[in-house]
Amino acid sequence: MPIQYWNLKPAPDFTRLIRSLQIQGNQEFVPFLELFADPEIIAAFLDESVPLSTNDRPNHAKLEASINQKIRFWHALGYDAICDGPVLDFPGILSLESVDTAVYSRSTRKWVNEKSGQITCWADFEHYPWPRAQNADFFPLEYMAAHLPSGMGILAMVSGIYELLSWLMGFETLCFALYKQPDLVGAICERIKDVIVPVTQTLVQMDRVIGIWLGDDLGYRTSTFISPKHLRQYIFPIHKEIAEIAHKNNMPYLFHSCGCMKLIMEDLITDVKIDAKHSFEDVIEPVEVFYSRYGKRVAVIGGIDVDLLSRGTEDQVRRRTREVLDSCAQGGGYILGSGNSITNYTPLKNFLAMVDEGRKFNEIHQGAL
């Protein structure tokens, strides 16, 4: 679907997004926000090819083309901010691979090997080529800041602490190590912290950065991957330190996690002090249920279920989007978006239907003021 088909007239203003994230008063405008959209979706909307593969990230010329696509895509759709982060690799994370059967296929799809990782013992820890904060390449954010349209901001993305821990060890290895080698688990977390915290301190000083968004998938359908006790011991102290960096620089701290968070939401709100929660699945907890419970304490991002977006009809997506907006938007502190991200197995028409319903909602309610 070429960009010319979309007739929205963008007028970005990241300050209205910040107001929603800070739950400031009645909500006169519902902003849109996504953690990311797969490059295949972006290219399909723009009627262009995907300029960048995973192996091309050090290639700044191709990186520029990819960033330019992101800017044109999100700006055309009326978004106030784009999420992106520095290039920072923890080498050797083991993955599995299969054929990608998505609507906008990338030929193959990878996922992390959960059985075992690069670090399973102290000898592995000592020999692992740990990156340093100085290794981070901030070029993507520097280039984006120099080319963003007026009114748009950047939400700087930070790597997940638990995710890096579980990827480096492998989930099964981590589960055993929490009881048999807790000192090793703690040492790995400290090394991760030694990289991520200084990177965050740099991010909050960068041009056009308006907030920090950390993605850390802590759970599955019914609970957290590891016990709340272990999250409180190893993971949340680092989250809290990152949140404090954002808050000291007058920026919101956005938290993304898939899975059931019921056992730890109070920790996230009262101890870590997140400003916004993202990622919702209807089979776990519909976003309006979460909003009714926590919407006065943290901003709520997204909630239009990815399963519906990927497998539902356009009419179903429109109807569900209207339901969520009617339940959440007028109380303040709600930002429209998907339950997770815009994947390459999402029909483009369904994503655009969600955005279009948000546009109509804003036109109706602004006209009524």
The DSSP code for 148 is P
Number of structural domains, the chain? 1
- Predicted confidence at residue 330, as pLDDT, reads 81
Residue among 238, 224, 125, 112 at smallest CA distance from 177 = 125
Does any domain span residue 297? yes
Does any domain span residue 239? yes
Place of tokens 């602004």: 366
Q: Please give the C-alpha separations between residue 341 and each of 11, 190, 253, 303, 347, in angstroms, as whole numbers.
A: 23, 29, 18, 10, 13
| 143, 208 Cβ separation under 8 angstroms | no
| 331, 27 Cβ separation under 8 angstroms | yes
| 272, 216 Cβ separation under 8 angstroms | no
Does any domain span residue 132? no
Write down the pTM of the prediction.
0.94
> 200, exposed or middle or buried, with CB in 10 Å at 0-12, 13-18, 19+?
buried
- Predicted confidence at residue 361, as pLDDT, reads 94
| CATH code at position 223 | 3.20.20.210
Does any domain span residue 166? no
Q: Please, what sign has the CA dihedral across residues 159, 162, 163, 166?
A: positive
Half-sphere exposure of residue 225, counting CA atoms within 13 Å on the CB side? Answer: 22
Does any domain span residue 97? no
Q: Please give the C-alpha separations between residue 148 and each of 60, 153, 331, in angstroms, as whole numbers.
A: 17, 8, 30
Residues in CB range of 104: below 8 A, 6 or more apart: 38, 40, 41, 43, 44, 344, 345, 348
Does any domain span residue 203? no
What's the pLDDT tens digit per position in 291-319?
Answer: 999 999 999 999 999 999 999 999 999 99
Does any domain span residue 294? yes
Residues in CB range of 20: below 8 A, 6 or more apart: 27, 30, 31, 299, 332, 333, 334, 335
- Say how far apart CA 151 and CA 10 lie, in whole Å: 10
Domain of residue 75 covers 3-89+138-159+208-367
- What letter represents residue 103's amino acid? V
Does any domain span residue 300? yes
Residues of the chain with pLDDT under 50: 1-5, 369
- Say how far apart CA 306 and CA 326 lie, in whole Å: 19
What token pair was written down for 312?
């539902």
Cβ neighbours around 50 below 10 Å, total: 19
- Say how far apart CA 42 and CA 49 lie, in whole Å: 9
